[in-house]
A and B are shown apart, each in its own frame.
Chain A
């Protein structure tokens, strides 16, 4: 294959040269999965963040959940859930949404330890999330603060895939139809009552299995068909 200087992996290599040694450098030193990898062979990490809001600059990361998708299977033995220690007291609203209490948050781990672990898990994999802008935005912001620069990742966004599918069919839709919960209902996936980062990461991964299966002809399409263009 011809070397493409603008490919994601080429950009990764250039960033790796600039990154300070440490977790971010290690992450950037691992090759991304090649874009032609059949989708059911691509290593994927489904990630979900719970945050205090939508703005990475002013809001905080509260917890991180992730699980691997290996050869078309969500592997629960790889499931992790981590709560981030934060000095801030939670606003009442967020407690209701995230089911995290101040005690849990106070008992959590420091942000740099959580990000270090996450980057190690993510190395060599595709980041999978629903409405991935939150996860990529907060992860990049955290890296900027911790290591002075933001990385890049190959990303699959289940919301984007669902939207693209509806648009290709010229189907009118409402924004609410693209919510994780509603998409899962549409595909007959079980209803999970709990609302936390790991549960949502698993829920996203299951939704992705459906999307990948539905896009499959006789052979599995390549990874690049699913990647978000960044």
Chain B
């Protein structure tokens, strides 16, 4: 190569996957490139070209279509591998969406050039979505030893000693002592009727002075929560955390296989969410809650290190936040008395989606029954202030947008909430919607669940029909876009100023969360978590199966990066945040992140087309 081609070589050398190639290979590659220019709206390759080529976009942008539907969009510094793919998609076409300058090389020639590097060959033959899928499944395989990959069936202890519920407390105690067990399962006609623990005998029989002949069914815990042998220990742990139980009978298809105790899991886990939530449940003051919540970042870190994925970490952290909220409410109610009318304490945003990471902002509100009278206002205000202050003290800082129950705007009766939603949906204003989109992710933490379910039913009945509302939601959702030029710029800037960081939350996760919300609202789906929404919307007119799978992969991958980043910060004693310096990413991670961003960008473009956001 002529040394004068250095600029073109440097451009190519900074682009994945070519950044992995030895310098002399890149130099040879640059010397074999062809440069072509395609006007906006014209096909790539231009008519009559029969050799398959790999294209590198130097300037401009191209779009990839399969059977009319948009498959991807590529911009400056992107590589179009589609023509080199092992199998071309059916009716595959590529078009320039801007005036575009392309570098290209025949796929065969390139394959020969990079034959020494299988990973580059692999890159060339696969699409961004395929590569991302593989990366996600590789990460999942790596977390083998975790609670996610241990199953309740392997850790529960059997055979289980059982007795009929009519047995006397004394006989039950004798049986338990004889067998050396701390809990006894009461079975009736092959089905679990209840469970009796040492603790039950102490607190419900001995302490109140019940006669020893009393049948066990009077003091046993009814409505047994059980697990299946195929449940992961993680799921079992979550069940225990949420239901506040320490024993789970484990069943297979036919019968009871054993009992899984919290101790069995703790032995696996070290520190436990259940342990933390039960500490919270017993806390007698805000100070104790603050103390307990200090454990949360470490818990999150531990979960990540054990290989828990975004979904599980989010659920665990949200469960702890829920427990804190409930305990704060209980403490205040003990002080000011029971509520004058029914109400529901609702959480919004990430806590509602069960996607929280430790110490995010708090977002909450109150739905009060329409029976409320003006004189009741003071009770709710006192409750709201106490809980908001308490959560803030526990590290869930005040919401910067003031979306909190202590704000009278978000402490209202059912009717007012209905009016809010009616207005948001039927007379959408972009700015108002930007603030309110958080309320389309809502969940009851404490109180009367019907207050929210009535409201939700009404919302989901209206949203699918309202194109203007969905259009405005879409336009707002598109304000956060993945920074696709980021990587190249990062690589090209050699001045030692790598102060720029990547906001994983706003440039990666928020766009996916926003899109998932729109799919759910457009299809009238009640799901609130992002992965559940994508799952439920897959295959509906709003979202293709393939699109859903790609977005799920992208969400998991970016979440994983964020969790690992936060785990490192927590380990270093820093406050966890969403800002990652690209230098912390390996080359491969950078590549996968770019693929994830591509997926997001493509889906955003599809949504944009669907709701014609440029016309509203």
- Kindly identify, within residues 1 to 47 of chain B, every residue whose CB is under 8 Å from any CB belonging to chain A: 1-8, 30-39, 42, 46
Q: Check A190 for interface membership: any CB of B closer than 8 A.
A: yes
Query: Contacts of B38 on A, CB cut-off 8 Å?
Result: 213
Chain A nearest CB, measured from B140 CB (Å):
41
Cα A117 to Cα B486 with chains together (Å): 44
Once A190-B101, A192-B7 are accepted as A-B contacts, the answer to whether A79 and B31 lie under 8 Å apart by CB is: yes
Contact indicator A74/B35 (Cβ below 8 Å): yes
Contact indicator B99/A81 (Cβ below 8 Å): no
Contact indicator A190/B59 (Cβ below 8 Å): yes
Q: Check A80 for interface membership: any CB of B closer than 8 A.
A: yes
Among B5, B46, B58, B101, contact of A72 (Cβ-Cβ < 8 Å)? B46
Contact indicator A205/B4 (Cβ below 8 Å): no
Query: Contacts of A199 on B, CB cut-off 8 Å?
Result: 4, 7
Once A72-B36, A74-B36, A206-B35 are accepted as A-B contacts, the answer to whether A188 and B7 lie under 8 Å apart by CB is: no
Q: Check A43 for interface membership: any CB of B closer than 8 A.
A: no
Among B4, B33, B37, contact of A65 (Cβ-Cβ < 8 Å)? B4
**What is the chain A residue whose CB lies nearest that of B32?**
A77
Once A72-B36, A74-B34, A76-B31 are accepted as A-B contacts, the answer to whether A206 and B5 lie under 8 Å apart by CB is: no
Cα A229 to Cα B112 with chains together (Å): 45
Q: Check B307 for interface membership: any CB of A closer than 8 A.
A: no
Query: Contacts of B39 on A, CB cut-off 8 Å?
Result: 213-214, 216
Query: Contacts of A76 on B, CB cut-off 8 Å?
Result: 1, 5, 8, 30-35
- Kindly identify, within residues 166 to 213 of chain A, every residue whose CB is under 8 Å from any CB belonging to chain B: 187-190, 192-194, 196-199, 202, 205-206, 209-210, 213
Once A65-B4, A79-B2, A187-B99 are accepted as A-B contacts, the answer to whether A206 and B37 lie under 8 Å apart by CB is: yes
What's the A-B contact tally at a CB cutoff of 8 Å?
72
Chain B nearest CB, measured from A44 CB (Å):
13
Most A CB within 10 A of own CB, among B32, B36, B42, B60: B36
Among A81, A190, A205, A214, contact of B2 (Cβ-Cβ < 8 Å)? A81
Once A76-B30, A77-B31 are accepted as A-B contacts, the answer to whether A209 and B37 lie under 8 Å apart by CB is: yes
- Kindly identify, within residues 50 to 89 of chain A, every residue whose CB is under 8 Å from any CB belonging to chain B: 65, 72-77, 79-81
Contact indicator A198/B8 (Cβ below 8 Å): no
Contact indicator A194/B4 (Cβ below 8 Å): yes
Chain B nearest CB, measured from A212 CB (Å):
8
Among A193, A197, A205, A213, contact of B7 (Cβ-Cβ < 8 Å)? A193
Cα A55 to Cα B154 with chains together (Å): 91
Query: Contacts of A72 on B, CB cut-off 8 Å?
Result: 36, 46
Contact indicator B32/A210 (Cβ below 8 Å): no
Contact indicator B35/A73 (Cβ below 8 Å): yes
Cα A163 to Cα B225 with chains together (Å): 83
**What is the chain B residue whose CB lies nearest that of A74?**
B35
Chain A nearest CB, measured from B153 CB (Å):
61
Contact indicator A189/B101 (Cβ below 8 Å): yes
**What is the chain B residue whose CB lies nearest that of A193?**
B7
Query: Contacts of B30 on A, CB cut-off 8 Å?
Result: 76
Q: How many B residues, CB 8 Å from partner?
A: 26
Interface mask (B460-473 → A, CB under 8 Å = 1, otherwise 0): 00000000000000
Cα A202 to Cα B35 with chains together (Å): 9
Among B5, B60, B104, contact of A198 (Cβ-Cβ < 8 Å)? B5
Q: How many A residues, CB 8 Å from partner?
A: 30
Chain B nearest CB, measured from A162 CB (Å):
15
Cα A77 to Cα B58 with chains together (Å): 18
Once A80-B2, A81-B2, A188-B60 are accepted as A-B contacts, the answer to whether A194 and B35 lie under 8 Å apart by CB is: no
Cα A199 to Cα B2 with chains together (Å): 10
Cα A193 to Cα B7 with chains together (Å): 8
Most A CB within 10 A of own CB, among B4, B5, B31: B4
Query: Contacts of A202 on B, CB cut-off 8 Å?
Result: 5, 8, 35
Contact indicator A205/B35 (Cβ below 8 Å): yes
Contact indicator A206/B2 (Cβ below 8 Å): no
Chain A nearest CB, measured from B63 CB (Å):
18
Most B CB within 10 A of own CB, among A76, A192, A213: A76
Contact indicator A194/B33 (Cβ below 8 Å): no
- Kindly identify, within residues 42 to 59 of chain B, every residue whose CB is under 8 Å from any CB belonging to chain A: 42, 46, 58-59
Chain A nearest CB, measured from B420 CB (Å):
47
Cα A72 to Cα B34 with chains together (Å): 10
Cα A206 to Cα B38 with chains together (Å): 11
Query: Contacts of A187 on B, CB cut-off 8 Å?
Result: 99
Contact indicator A198/B99 (Cβ below 8 Å): no
Query: Contacts of A77 on B, CB cut-off 8 Å?
Result: 31-32
Chain A nearest CB, measured from B109 CB (Å):
10
Contact indicator A209/B36 (Cβ below 8 Å): yes
Chain B nearest CB, measured from A161 CB (Å):
14
Most A CB within 10 A of own CB, among B5, B32, B35, B58: B35
Cα A66 to Cα B21 with chains together (Å): 28
Cα A189 to Cα B102 with chains together (Å): 11
Chain B nearest CB, measured from A107 CB (Å):
13
**What is the chain B residue whose CB lies nearest that of A214?**
B39
Contact indicator B36/A73 (Cβ below 8 Å): yes
Among B46, B59, B104, contact of A188 (Cβ-Cβ < 8 Å)? B59
Cα A81 to Cα B6 with chains together (Å): 13
Cα A194 to Cα B4 with chains together (Å): 8
Cα A76 to Cα B56 with chains together (Å): 14
- Kindly identify, within residues 532 to 577 of chain B, every residue whose CB is under 8 Å from any CB belonging to chain A: none
Interface mask (B92-124 → A, CB under 8 Å = 1, otherwise 0): 000000010100100000000000000000000
Query: Contacts of A192 on B, CB cut-off 8 Å?
Result: 7
Once A76-B31, A76-B32, A192-B7 are accepted as A-B contacts, the answer to whether A210 and B37 lie under 8 Å apart by CB is: yes
Query: Contacts of B34 on A, CB cut-off 8 Å?
Result: 73-76
Cα A197 to Cα B46 with chains together (Å): 29
Query: Contacts of B31 on A, CB cut-off 8 Å?
Result: 76-77, 79
Query: Contacts of A73 on B, CB cut-off 8 Å?
Result: 34-36, 104
Chain A nearest CB, measured from B104 CB (Å):
8
Contact indicator B101/A206 (Cβ below 8 Å): yes
Cα A65 to Cα B38 with chains together (Å): 25
Query: Contacts of B58 on A, CB cut-off 8 Å?
Result: 190
**What is the chain B residue whose CB lies nearest that of A201?**
B4
Chain B nearest CB, measured from A109 CB (Å):
14
**What is the chain A residue whose CB lies nearest that of B35?**
A74
Query: Contacts of A197 on B, CB cut-off 8 Å?
Result: 4
Cα A138 to Cα B265 with chains together (Å): 86
Chain A nearest CB, measured from B437 CB (Å):
36
Cα A65 to Cα B3 with chains together (Å): 12
Contact indicator B35/A189 (Cβ below 8 Å): no
Contact indicator A81/B36 (Cβ below 8 Å): no
Contact indicator A213/B32 (Cβ below 8 Å): no
Q: Please, could you name 27 A-B residue pairs with CB atoms under 8 Å apart, sorted by A?
A: A65-B4, A73-B34, A73-B36, A76-B1, A76-B5, A76-B8, A76-B33, A76-B34, A79-B1, A79-B31, A81-B2, A81-B3, A187-B99, A188-B60, A189-B101, A190-B59, A190-B101, A193-B7, A198-B5, A199-B7, A206-B101, A210-B99, A213-B37, A213-B38, A213-B42, A214-B39, A216-B39
Question: Using a CB–CB distance below 8 Å, which chain A residues touch chain B?
Answer: 40, 65, 72-77, 79-81, 187-190, 192-194, 196-199, 202, 205-206, 209-210, 213-214, 216
Given contact pairs A81-B2, A193-B7, enumerate 16 new A-B contacts (beta carbons under 8 Å): A72-B36, A73-B104, A76-B1, A77-B32, A80-B2, A188-B59, A188-B60, A190-B101, A194-B6, A197-B4, A199-B4, A202-B5, A202-B8, A210-B99, A213-B37, A213-B38
Task: Sort A-B residue pairs by CB-CB distance and give the 8 closest, nearest first.
Answer: A209-B37, A198-B4, A74-B35, A73-B34, A81-B2, A73-B36, A76-B33, A213-B39
